[in-house]
Chain A
């Protein structure tokens, strides 16, 4: 037998050449190992852009973001941050999650002025598409479809595009110049804007039927703008009235905010009660504080733990004096003789079962009614879609939202829908994600087949790119404006953004979960030098691995005895990409690759 080996230096790692893979084990690895990206409705490649920031390539970081979520500067401020909830750095024993959202914003803030955005344009297709509604979903779809070479016409009932972003979110959270800039970038590729043009049956409206005839496809992204009514009996057994219309001191939150953002004037009295538990409710409360209210209280039906708002948002509101009281549902209002609001009657709740998204059901407790005195009531308990403008018979689901199929199309050929208009109220990033998804499907329908597909790109990486010391950098707090500067006006932004040094520190905290550490079992000598230096229980003597239904890997089965040790393997689920093992391996049998999703054109 021949035992001689090729006579090049043995210890050199021969990294795998760059390659694309559809293997379920690779796809599964990326899905399981990059929690932030998996959690992002827009599928943002978080590790990639944070890595770019840590190397000072802010412009590139910005583009990586734009490629996924279109409006990085906006989302970097007001995103609900599902990624940070998922971040590996926040897992038990790992400390606090990376400030992904703040980093996203820093990329937008720190890219130099001359930054030119890049776009890979497709040849014109000559197809005409009308999009109804210029909110986050509509804008995202418009952007993608225009890039794909279609002629896009974007209809918006309001005077300016932006939808919720412009009319729902206060300026102290989202400065308008930022919004303008990114909307412009998204829509500048030959999207025809039709602002101030309503679709429907009203005077001056264009009818949907006509729109359908005039275009190859129509995408409904009208959002979810109608406030849910809260019928409350006035105390003393009066008739049930809709507070929004019946009393000057009672108003729905969203119209209240929209009016302000249209430039109309609004005022609040001394004690303001807000009912509702979403971003809108919090915004109302913080705006009220800025309008001079002395006492602002948010009344929620369950408890802080369960409301869908970031902890930072709640904390800042509290610092501004806003108080939150839980376990109460409004059941009536108290008017004084002059017909002005004197208080709100609540009933005590207990917590009931669970709703999806970790929310709870509240169950009123009979006979526990009580009155909270207040002078202004803002109701922000949610929105619903309005589809009375549909002059064509389209199937609705049981929530009276338009029903769409797997191809994104409604029951009417050529009529697509997406965003909150379909799902009911969600988040901005969700809407962006849905908008882009709709664009993909609509394009596939128009062109007869998907033009792009997602694959795993595996690129060899020469070194860990991280130092263990980075794992001990604390989460960098977002600098905020001092309290006394805030409450004067509605303009100045509360969060000031991370400057370059802070951004660099924070970016170093990212584990770069897209780095995939592998041991070449054929060259491993079982010496366990790697285990010796492992910072966690991340390198294991294994005898088996669970293979899941979709062909991806589940848990490792560890071996306790020497004669069961089939391999030494890195548990990428435990791995925090510190690189200690890579440095320690005496025979260089540990390799690193960057495994991440990329979109490629279909042949």
Chain B
């Protein structure tokens, strides 16, 4: 029976790919299908800031060569969108009107950037940095020594920020409660950290102190492309504005599937959802933490990869629990630079 099993994995991030790798190792004959919205095979998103260091061929970012999927007999379907999961019939519906049936389903859709509702009306004026395409698009928009305004911050945004500063760009971080997301920092420590950021060459604007963001507008001809207006009347010009408020899990396609959701997919520590055939792994998972007595997300490349690995094992006979792999404390080096364990990746 196992030989004939069809494992379908939604999402080809770190978790999905690690799961596929593991599944193949443990079930040489199983049918494995990866589904992704991306046009490219799995590449290292943490690496994307490198586009500002002159790496602009997507092939440089691939983790495995295309031949890997053929050699491993892993079906890789790109630019396909899952719109619905029918847990009873064990099928996923794809946006182009195709139906795909599975024996086991692994949800590894990860998260996408969170945009606070009060900013949603400005969406057309904002940029993203989550995909290779977005990264390249942003690089084209930012001139030599140009300015990038990062709203919020978060460790992904700050990672880009330090690269931008390195490469001679100007970076303004509009700081708020999520500036060090996913780190949770006390008010006192936050103030200190903000100072360190300034020492790192990043300009800081305190959103709250400035009465919040009133509007984001397109700049007039001949001026910077974007203008941010604050409640206080202060203004800030930039070539691109990048909202960076942490991640929200991508679970829309699971609505109505009967799987338990809150913000993410609610899973046991064994990464099992409320449907026996469906597991979840990575940033999309909201896992019960016995220690903290709450459902929580475990971010970071090490955690996500471990989840992918574990989900695959639990899909193929094991029954183990997830153990966090990631140090979550934010360090300051000799008062002049910060270092986040979330910045460590292979």
Contact = CB atoms under 8 A, between A and B. Distances in A.
B67 interface: no
Interface in B253-270: 255, 260-263, 266
B293 interface: yes
Given A305-B261, A321-B118, A348 B294 contact: yes
A396 interface: no
Given A92-B93, A303-B263, A368 B120 contact: no
Contacts of B255: 305
B22 interface: no
B186 interface: no
Given A348-B293, A367-B293, A92 B266 contact: no
Interface of A: 92-93, 302-305, 315, 318-319, 321, 326-327, 348, 350-351, 365, 367-370, 483
A321 B288 CA distance: 28
B84 interface: yes
Given A319-B118, A321-B118, A348-B293, A93 B262 contact: no
B295 A327 contact: yes
B263 A350 contact: no
B98 to A, nearest CB: 12
A350 B274 CA distance: 11
29 contacts: A92-B83, A92-B84, A93-B97, A302-B262, A303-B261, A303-B263, A304-B262, A305-B261, A315-B117, A318-B117, A318-B118, A319-B120, A321-B118, A326-B263, A327-B262, A327-B295, A348-B293, A348-B294, A350-B260, A350-B288, A351-B260, A351-B266, A351-B274, A365-B293, A367-B293, A368-B294, A369-B293, A370-B294, A483-B118
Interface residues of B, number: 18
Contacts, number: 42
Interface string B231-260: 000000000000000000000000100001
Contacts of A302: 262
Interface of B: 83-84, 93, 97, 117-118, 120, 255, 260-263, 266, 274, 288, 293-295
B15 to A, nearest CB: 22
Nearest to A319: B117
Contacts of A367: 293
Contacts of A93: 97
Nearest to A314: B117
Nearest to B214: A484
B274 to A, nearest CB: 8
Given A93-B97, A351-B266, A368 B293 contact: yes
A115 B84 CA distance: 46
A350 B262 CA distance: 10
A318 B255 CA distance: 21
Nearest to B83: A92
Contacts of A369: 293
10 A-B pairs with least C-beta separation:
A368-B293, A318-B117, A303-B262, A351-B260, A319-B117, A326-B262, A319-B118, A348-B294, A327-B262, A305-B261
A303 B294 CA distance: 14
Contact of B293 (A304, A318, A370): A370
A348 B287 CA distance: 13
A365 B294 CA distance: 9
Contacts of A318: 117-118
Contacts of B83: 92
Nearest to B258: A354
Given A318-B117, A370-B293, 12 more contacts: A93-B97, A303-B261, A305-B255, A315-B117, A319-B117, A319-B120, A327-B262, A348-B294, A350-B266, A351-B274, A365-B288, A370-B294
A598 to B, nearest CB: 34
A3 B263 CA distance: 71
Nearest to B116: A318
Nearest to B294: A348
Nearest to B286: A327
A437 to B, nearest CB: 30
For B93, B262, B274, B294, which residue has the most chain A Cβ atoms within 10 angstroms?
A: B262
A463 B97 CA distance: 30
